[in-house]
């Protein structure tokens, strides 16, 4: 079987930093001091987030914006961000755009047709024969499944070098007149960012080995977007940490058994940080000590939840010159969950 190497990972964020205490103060001023707001505002302090990044300055949120206006900003800013992340990843892997055989793009927070990968090809000199695979709608699980799809392309033997790009502009969809729990939670949790990863059948970097996913039955209402006239409305309708604690372990064990592994075989766990309670549940699931998912918690603190690309930020943080950190770690388990409701796992080995 063809080996799949992760040659490089790089990230990018937009220029506007949102400090969590400042955003909490602005939300309090926007929605007033009702009992409902008072019950919801502690979420800002409880997220474990100190700052996030936005494609637009904070003053932008005080005005009304139509769907078309928001999506136009998404299209422009998303392209800028994936261009920056791609150039950084190519430089780290010492590759040129002309050497890339396929591009996989992942995003959920806007619409672009032609897709972002086609737009990127007008910015950077990829070959015109480069294969494109745009993926929409995976949400927070998109980083993991994007890696899996890119690895499948390399493993097929038809594509020696594959670029994965992901970008999310979650903050564009804040709805200033909606005083609901889901809107407040989304306002406290989400940030914007982009990432790029280079996978190939040769070169430096750890190997991506097994990948798997599981879509739970009757869980379509757990997470996602509702389309409204003025944008996208976040859906958080069930207790995800409870679902992780109650149902994820048998699914994880089945995945590991299929690939002749157990939890004891892994010395690093790299997870999408959906929130602090989710990370708490994952540490229990992985039989790790509290606060042991250091990379995930650090990314959540410094960038917030950037939907699909957050796992790639965690992965970048955990990689140091092609080795997993801590340096003695040889095998890592990657995980993420997202709309569907779907769980995804990958194994990484150096």
Question: Catalytic site residues?
Answer: 140
* 264: number of Cβ within 10 Å: 8
∠ Cα 252 255 256 (to 5°)? 85
Could you give the CA distance from residue 221 to residue 223 in angstroms, rounded to a whole number?
Answer: 6
| Burial degree of 42 (CB within 10 A; 0-12, 13-18, 19+) | exposed
> Which is nearest to 316 in space by CA: 283, 348, 281, 282?
348
CB hemisphere CA count around 327 (13 angstroms): 2
* 190: number of Cβ within 10 Å: 24
> Which is nearest to 205 in space by CA: 9, 336, 10, 1?
9
Could you give the CA distance from residue 147 to residue 235 in angstroms, rounded to a whole number?
Answer: 25
Pairing mode, if any, of strands 5-12 and 192-200? antiparallel
Cis peptide before 156 (omega within 30 of 0): no
Helical ranges in the chain per DSSP H: 20-31, 35-40, 42-46, 67-93, 116-123, 142-155, 181-189, 240-243, 249-258, 276-285, 294-303, 310-318
Could you give the CA distance from residue 334 to residue 342 in angstroms, rounded to a whole number?
Answer: 14
Could you give the CA distance from residue 167 to residue 2 in angstroms, rounded to a whole number?
Answer: 28
Which residues are paired to 227 by β-bridges? 232
């Amino acid at each position: 079987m063809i080996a799949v190497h992760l040659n490089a990972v790089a990230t990018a964020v937009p220029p506007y930093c949102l400090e969590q205490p400042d955003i909490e103060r602005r939300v309090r001023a926007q929605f007033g001091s009702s009992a409902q707001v008072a019950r919801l505002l502690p979420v800002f302090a409880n997220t474990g987030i100190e700052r996030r990044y936005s494609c637009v300055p904070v003053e932008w949120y005080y005005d009304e914006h139509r769907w078309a206006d928001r999506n136009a900003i998404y299209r422009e800013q998303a392209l800028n961000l994936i261009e920056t992340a791609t150039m950084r990843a190519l430089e780290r892997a010492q590759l040129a755009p002309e050497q890339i055989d396929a591009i996989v793009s992942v995003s959920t927070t806007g619409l672009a047709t032609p897709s972002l990968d086609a737009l990127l090809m007008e910015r950077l000199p990829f070959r015109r024969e480069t294969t494109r695979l745009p993926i929409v709608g995976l949400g927070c699980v998109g980083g993991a499944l994007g890696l899996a799809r890119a690895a499948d392309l390399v493993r097929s033997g038809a594509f020696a070098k594959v670029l994965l790009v992901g970008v999310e502009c979650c903050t564009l969809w804040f709805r200033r007149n909606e005083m609901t729990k889901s809107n407040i939670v989304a306002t406290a949790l989400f940030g914007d960012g982009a990432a790029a990863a280079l996978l190939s059948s040769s070169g430096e970097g750890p190997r991506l080995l097994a990948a798997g996913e599981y879509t739970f039955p009757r869980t379509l209402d757990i997470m996602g977007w509702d389309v409204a006239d003025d944008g996208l409305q976040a859906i958080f309708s069930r207790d995800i940490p409870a679902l992780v604690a109650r149902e994820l372990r048998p699914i994880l064990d089945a995945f590991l058994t299929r690939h002749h592994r157990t939890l004891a075989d892994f010395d690093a766990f790299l997870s999408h940080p959906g929130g602090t309670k989710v990370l708490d549940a994952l540490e229990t699931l992985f039989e790790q000590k509290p606060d042991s998912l250091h990379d995930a918690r650090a990314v959540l603190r410094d960038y917030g939840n950037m939907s699909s690309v957050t796992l790639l930020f965690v992965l970048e943080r955990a990689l140091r010159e092609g080795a997993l950190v801590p340096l003695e770690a040889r095998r890592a388990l990657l995980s993420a969950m997202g709309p569907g409701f779907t769980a995804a796992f990958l194994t990484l080995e150096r």
